[in-house]
Structure 1
């Protein structure tokens, strides 16, 4: 369960990873960083339509401060989820009625990944893009069920530190 949103992880991350790739996910746990990254990248290359694998990979890079790589993976994940949800590939063009963003599936994963991109942007010091992403999240998720308020708080904190 995601502690910030109270939602089951599979609901946010687009389901379960393919069972045949579980050995790669397991290999990524508790191994040296280079090996873990290689295992996750291999899994994504084998199953490029598997949304949970993208989540694991962008989370892996973000947790290690590899924000450029996390950003790259999250953007790829956003594109895959957009295709699967049949929404516009340009996140700026997506509107609330384009998909059901609150039920399990690619649209919800897309929304969660948009939040991840906003978080990564804040950490990279890209306030303008982070704000734009948060505004899109606010437009689509008016009740903040995905938890973008956390990113808003980080934005506010980074502004007050200037």
Structure 2
């Protein structure tokens, strides 16, 4: 799934982005690095309840090696998704029956973002946190539907 290339986000996020946000995302394609960051931040601020711009922004920062920024955005995304999915704001407290993590929508996005935080934690050298995150992912997604096994392999 890649909103930059036009592949839709419904499999993970459960819906489309608002038209104004779509226009911003479209304008980010082919933009300079600085412009892309500014456009994606604008998208998040324009529609703070829309989950896809958070994904694009934390992925953008991570790809640029801006791990603190990626972590900050992923934590914000996790909080928004938790509210939308009606699950605990503390990821450590979330239990398997709290939401349907296999169905597209905020709970699945939350789970995917938890995986992203695991990856970011590995890259930041926070192995203990990454192990905790993988443990929670293993509990919530035993079939590894979001692909946390990649993060787990980095910890081996």
Q: Which runs of 5+ in 2 are unaligned?
A: 3-7
Q: Which residue of 1 aligns with 2:86?
A: 86
1:46-95 deviation per Cα after TM superposition (whole angstroms, max 9, x unaligned): 10000011001111111111111000000000000000000000000000
Q: Which residue of 1 aligns with 2:126?
A: 126
Who is 1:143 aligned against? 143
Cα distance in 2 for residues equivalent to 1:155 and 1:17:
34
Aligned 8 A contact 2:121 2:129 in 1: yes
Q: Distance in 1 between matches of 2:149 and 2:119?
A: 11
Once the two structures are TM-superposed, the CA of residue 114 in structure 1 deviates from its matched residue by: 0.2
1:1-162 equivalences in 2 (<5 Å): 1=1, 9-156=9-156
The number of residue pairs the alignment matches comes to: 151
Q: CA RMSD in A?
A: 1.3
What TM-score results when the alignment is normalised by the length of structure 2?
Answer: 0.92
Task: Give 5+ residue unaligned stretches, structure 1.
Answer: 3-7, 157-162
Displacement of 1:18: 1.4
